[in-house]
Structure 1
Amino acid sequence: NAQTYYRQASLVLDPARTEIRYNSEWCDPLGARGMIQLAAKYTVARMMERDDFTKRFRSGIPISVHEFLYPLMQGYDSVALKSDLELGGTDQKFNL
């Protein structure tokens, strides 16, 4: 997948000026303890601000715990990268 994304990005970005990073650089050292500490900074109420979670909850469609952790980790990516600019889909509004 990473190579496919790189090829696609290279169509609009200069490969010589593009840095590719893998979140394993900062997620692996985080470990279970760090993940729990990160998760402790957020509430389920805050996570439920996402429209897709609210709609599913109201419809009785299950939401798994890992689905709450995913946007948290995406947000952590942003912090680790110290990004000046980020692009993302509407499903990423919570963590951009």
Structure 2
Amino acid sequence: MFETGLWTRSLPTFAAGTLLAGTGIDLACRRGVGVAQRLADPRRRADLLSTYFLFAYTGTIVPTLPLGLLDQTMNQDVAPLILAVAVVATTLAGALSRPINAIT
């Protein structure tokens, strides 16, 4: 939806995509924090959670850097599309390579 909003220049679609993506990130982050708290030794929980948030914030920053570089070298419509395809491909590759009996 986010990408569709960019291509069609539709503010409502762009806003809906942003809200949908934000909701997905929030749900994933909440689940990750819950798992980290459950698995962590109570005396080391703060260390584990701070590391979790460090990697989570890094994960939100890193895609922005290539987007900025791509935006400088090509069309502003193509750069986000390339990034979106890369994110989807990485997500699918990670999901497909995940063991069937993974810890949930």
Q: TM-score range by the shorter chain?
A: 0.3 to 0.5
TM-score (norm 1): 0.33
Larger relative contact order (Cα-Cα within 8 Å, sequence gap ≥ 6): 1
Structure of larger gyration radius? 2
